[in-house]
Structure 1
Amino acid sequence: MDIRFMSTDVHNPAFIRAGQSNDTRKEGRKDSPMTAVRHIRWSRIIELTLLIAIIVGAVYLLSKLVTPQVVTAVTVIAGFLILRFIVRVILQVTFTLLRYLFWMAVLAAILLCVL
């Protein structure tokens, strides 16, 4: 029997990075992505407003230097990037609120069954 294989966890990843042995390999983080807590960070909203202000200023300065077609193309690209950021923040806030509402509904259902 090979003791080296018996002493390792079967749930470790099958592929090990090159140059690392079992002794030098660090154990991965024990936190699973399902237990990560998401908080609403107001700094994200402040970052969003600053980003919008910087982009509006950049478009204004760019419009003074180049043709309207270039300004339109740059504005469309920047608009997609800003929209992606906004949707991401809104989805994080929405899922955080829905998680709290779900657990409140579960607790209310348990209380209704008990009482």
Structure 2
Amino acid sequence: MNTQLMNHDVHSPIFIRAKTSNDKPKAEPTKSSRSIDWRRIIELVLLLSVVAGAIYFISKLVTPQVVTVIGIFVGFLVVRFIVRTILRVTLTLLSILFWLAVLAAILLFVF
């Protein structure tokens, strides 16, 4: 911890002058909000291709029944994730609506 810096008044002219630099601010390139991050898309495609390749090689090593069981298990996990996400969003919206109704009822009784 820099105790010397803490003992100075940050509003004194010396402190303010020391903070400023003589460098001209560099113009930040403006990025449009609709630009596509190609690196992220390429990473996602590579990840999906690795997963698809792994599934293909595993399906060649094991019997079709094992592939079916693994598919059912993964499908269950995906459905569980989707349902949990939908329920979380729904319950959040319902709690907001509940507290808005409580606030409206309080305001109706007060006024």
Scaled by the length of structure 1, what TM-score is found? 0.42
Higher relative contact order (CA 8 A, sep 6+): 1
* Greater fraction helix: 2
**TM-score computed with the length of structure 2 as normaliser:** 0.43
